[in-house]
């Protein structure tokens, strides 16, 4: 019996093979791609890593002429799915021909499920092998062993939700990119393409609105009344309950009332215990936060309205 496993990437395939069969895994080549081959409990196993999505949706060639095809018509046209990585499709086909069982072992999320279904659909053209799903949240030994000992059915709804997202991205991106580009070219006399998409377009809007609010911000003066206290040899800072007082006369009146006080009564005490975790590694989001807070950039970029 031959079991073929489709992982999402080569690194994951190598790790899965190592966990399932230790160091007795043999690396072979199928259509120029690495495949990890071993025998487990008397069965022949082959594990291959894909390269993320190997197919994508697009419109047929008859809709490629921007001038002759009105952008609005693209919303009603059914796109076709094309193989974008032919070597992976060929390897899937070759492995599937001799498979008695196929296991989808991509990441457990919408995109991972969809990538597995891409391989499953290609394999189904040449094989009637049963198809199962190994669901795991990490490439740890315990997770992989548990997942491959408790195989489940592939989740069609999860995969198709990613499929729907791809189709909507294409329809919106192609339609609005063509519409805006053609409209602007008439007035700006430019040959450039203005890319419009469901993610970057609103994100640009968020960035623009935030930048505008920063540049149009009008600072307001306020006063805060603080006092240094000492109790049982411990110094601590106290802040008037008025907080940020925007009325200067009110702040002055409060200060005048309490400035000569030398004692105070604590009417409420709150003790909290907190645990501080070690700092996380510097990933992209954290880098941008620190750069925004700590770095000084010279010059300004004019805000276009």
Written as tens digits, the pLDDT of the chain (305 aa) is 999 999 999 999 999 999 999 778 899 999 999 999 999 889 999 999 999 899 999 999 889 888 888 888 898 899 999 999 999 999 999 999 999 999 999 999 999 999 999 999 999 999 999 999 999 988 999 999 999 999 999 999 999 999 999 999 899 888 888 888 888 877 767 777 878 877 777 888 899 999 999 999 999 999 999 888 888 888 888 888 888 999 999 999 999 998 888 888 877 778 888 888 887 777 777 778 777 777 755 444 444 44
Q: Tell whether 293 is covered by a domain.
A: no
256 with 204, same domain?
no
Domain count along the chain: 3
144-176 b/e (C-beta count within 10 Å ≥ 16 → b): beebbeebeebbeebbeebbeebeeebbbbbbb
26 with 145, same domain?
yes
To 5 degrees, how large is the angle CA 176–CA 182–CA 186? Answer: 145
9 with 64, same domain?
yes
208 with 93, same domain?
no
Cβ–Cβ < 8 Å for 131, 154: yes
91 with 200, same domain?
no
Q: Tell whether 294 is covered by a domain.
A: no
- Among 142, 158, 174, residue at a domain's last position: 158
Q: Tell whether 133 is covered by a domain.
A: yes
As a whole number of angstroms, the distance between CA 98 and CA 120 comes to 14
Q: Tell whether 298 is covered by a domain.
A: no
Give the count of alpha carbons within 13 A of 286, CB side only: 5
Q: Tell whether 284 is covered by a domain.
A: no
Its domain, for residue 174, covers: 162-212
Q: Tell whether 74 is covered by a domain.
A: yes
Reading the block at residue 132, the tokens are 């199962």
| 30: β partners | 33
Reading the block at residue 68, the tokens are 């002759």
E-assigned strand segments in the chain: 2-7, 26-30, 33-40, 43-49, 55-58, 80-83, 101-105, 130-133, 226-231, 234-239
Spatial CA neighbour of 176 closest among 188, 194, 189 = 194
């Amino acid at each position: 019996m031959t079991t073929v496993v489709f992982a999402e990437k080569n690194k994951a395939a190598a790790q899965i093979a190592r966990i399932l069969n230790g160091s007795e895994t043999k690396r072979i080549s199928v259509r120029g791609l690495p495949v990890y081959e071993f025998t487990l409990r008397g069965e022949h196993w082959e594990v291959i890593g894909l390269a993320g999505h190997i197919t994508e949706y697009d419109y047929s060639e008859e809709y490629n002429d921007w001038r002759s095809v009105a952008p609005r018509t693209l919303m009603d046209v059914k796109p076709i799915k094309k193989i974008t990585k032919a070597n992976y499709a060929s390897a899937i086909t070759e492995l599937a021909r001799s498979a008695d069982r196929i296991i989808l072992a991509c990441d457990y999320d919408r995109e991972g499920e969809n990538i597995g279904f891409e391989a499953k659909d290609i394999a189904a053209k040449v094989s009637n092998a049963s198809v199962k799903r190994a669901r795991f949240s990490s490439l740890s030994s315990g997770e992989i062993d548990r997942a491959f000992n408790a195989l489940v059915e592939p989740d069609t709804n999860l995969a198709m939700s990613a499929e729907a997202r791809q189709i909507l991205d294409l329809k919106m991106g192609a339609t609005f990119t063509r519409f805006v580009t053609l409209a602007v070219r008439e007035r700006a006399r430019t040959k450039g393409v203005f890319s419009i998409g469901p993610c970057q377009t609103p994100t640009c809007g968020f960035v623009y609105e935030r930048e505008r609010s920063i540049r149009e911000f009008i600072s307001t003066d306020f006063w805060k009344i603080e006092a240094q206290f000492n109790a049982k040899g411990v110094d601590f800072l106290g802040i008037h309950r008025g907080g940020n007082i925007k009325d200067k006369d009110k702040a002055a009146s409060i200060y005048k009332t309490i400035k000569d006080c030398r004692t105070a009564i604590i009417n409420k005490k709150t003790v909290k215990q907190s645990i501080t975790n070690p700092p996380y590694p510097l990933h992209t989001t954290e880098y941008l936060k620190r750069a925004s807070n700590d770095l000084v950039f010279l010059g300004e970029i004019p805000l276009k309205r």
